[in-house]
Amino acid sequence: MQPNPTTRFSNRVHDYVRYRPGYPSQIINLLCQQYRVSPNTVVADIGSGTGLLARLFLDNGNPVYGIEPNQEMRLAGEEFLAGYPNFHSVPATAESTTLPDHSVGLITAGQAFHWFNPAPTQKEFRRILEPNGLVALVWNVRRTDATPFLREYESLLATFGSEYTTVIHRTITDGGARDVEGFFAPGCYRKHTILDNFQYFDADGLIGRARSASYMPASGQPRFDEAVQALQNLFNRHQQDGTVRVEYDTEIHIGWWGNEPTEQEGIV
């Protein structure tokens, strides 16, 4: 039986907070310049987790409702975003957000959409979106073969990740099981890519980054110590000046069901 996606990260929160990559500010530039999102746009961040994506919009001035079913992740997000009065934490799911009808202009999901149940999620998104509202689904896509280090890191994850193949194939960028374009109305979908989002890690950081993945063994589980040693050895082989670099491209999948929310329409 596969772990419940709403609880599978409960024992990963500490590492998720410290070692998961953030999202580039170009996301805001894209949405504001090409889709006329404004600081007045109300945002529902679905699967908001520890608040990494929500923070981008809060820094832009947007009111943000963080929808997160996992208690441990939600509490971490509330702590991380405690200084933002426009952040509202909601214990709910993508399929049942509890938000009022037509109450948000933009729905976002960072590194989360592949865990949602598509049919009820679509119904719920259409219910809470304002007319001509917008959905932005975001993934930081880790590069797997751009450098010798990244190739070996990918092989290590596949070796020790008990669910690696299953989980990685759920994502849209890895031949996944979710038809993102088909989630929206015909012709109402655009994809954008922001290149070169990097993280630099020392040995402890690289180990923590791997531990934050739900498919990797956690402390106390079989092969955990073996995986940690393999990560240390990998770091030793490839480190330069005490760090290694994990590389990502950030993909933004934008869709809607009304008129195209571009410069002509806008969402406010």
Is 168 exposed, middle or buried (CB count within 10 Å of its CB: 0-12, 13-18, 19+)? buried
pLDDT of residue 166: 55
pLDDT of residue 268: 44
Which tops the pLDDT comparison, 171 or 211? 211
Q: What number is the average pLDDT over the span 49-56?
A: 96
pLDDT digits (tens, 9 = 90+) for 207-226: 999 988 888 888 888 999 99
Is the pLDDT at 178 greater than 90, yes or no?
A: no
Q: What number is the average pLDDT over the span 15-35?
A: 92
Q: How far apart are CA 190 and CA 66, in angstroms?
A: 24
**Residues β-bridged to residue 5:** none
Which tops the pLDDT comparison, 165 or 66? 66
Q: How far apart are CA 137 and CA 190, in angstroms?
A: 11
Which tops the pLDDT comparison, 122 or 268? 122
Q: How far apart are CA 12 and CA 44, in angstroms?
A: 24
Residue among 211, 245, 264 at smallest CA distance from 15: 211
Strand positions, DSSP E, 147-236: 189-201
Domain edges within the chain = 10-143+163-201+247-255
Domain 10-143+163-201+247-255, architecture per CATH: 3-Layer(aba) Sandwich (3.40)
pLDDT of residue 246: 97
Strand 43-46 relative to strand 64-67, pairing:
parallel
In 203-238, which positions are buried (b, 16+ CB within 10 angstroms) versus exposed (e)?
A: bebbbbbbbbbbbbbeeeeeeeeebbebbeebbeeb
Please answer whether residues 97 and 44 qualify as being in contact, where contact means their C-beta atoms are separated by less than 8 angstroms.
yes
264 band by pLDDT with thresholds 50, 70 and 90: very low
Q: Write down the number of H helices and E strands in the chain.
A: 10, 7
pLDDT of residue 230: 97
Q: What is the mean pLDDT of the chain?
A: 88
Q: What number is the average pLDDT over the span 6-25?
A: 75
pLDDT of residue 38: 97
191 band by pLDDT with thresholds 50, 70 and 90: very high
174 band by pLDDT with thresholds 50, 70 and 90: very low
pLDDT of residue 255: 96
Collapse the DSSP code of 232 into the 3-class scheme (helix H, G, I; strand E, B; otherwise coil) and give the result.
helix
258 band by pLDDT with thresholds 50, 70 and 90: confident
pLDDT of residue 256: 96
Counting residues of the chain whose pLDDT is more than 90, the rounded percentage is 75
Question: Which 3-state string (H, E, C) describes 64-81?
Answer: EEEECCCHHHHHHHHHHC
**Range with the poorest average pLDDT among 16-25, 135-144, 202-211:** 16-25
143 band by pLDDT with thresholds 50, 70 and 90: very high
DSSP state at residue 147: S
17 band by pLDDT with thresholds 50, 70 and 90: confident
User: Residue 177 phi/psi, 5° resolution?
Assistant: -90, 0
pLDDT of residue 163: 65
pLDDT of residue 168: 52
Strand positions, DSSP E, 116-217: 129-142, 189-201
Is the pLDDT at 87 greater than 80, yes or no?
A: yes
pLDDT of residue 175: 36
Q: How far apart are CA 139 and CA 76, in angstroms?
A: 20
Q: How far apart are CA 153 and CA 34, in angstroms?
A: 36
Q: How far apart are the first and last CA of the chain?
A: 43
Handedness of CA 161, 219, 82, 117 (dihedral sign): positive
DSSP state at residue 99: P
DSSP state at residue 62: -
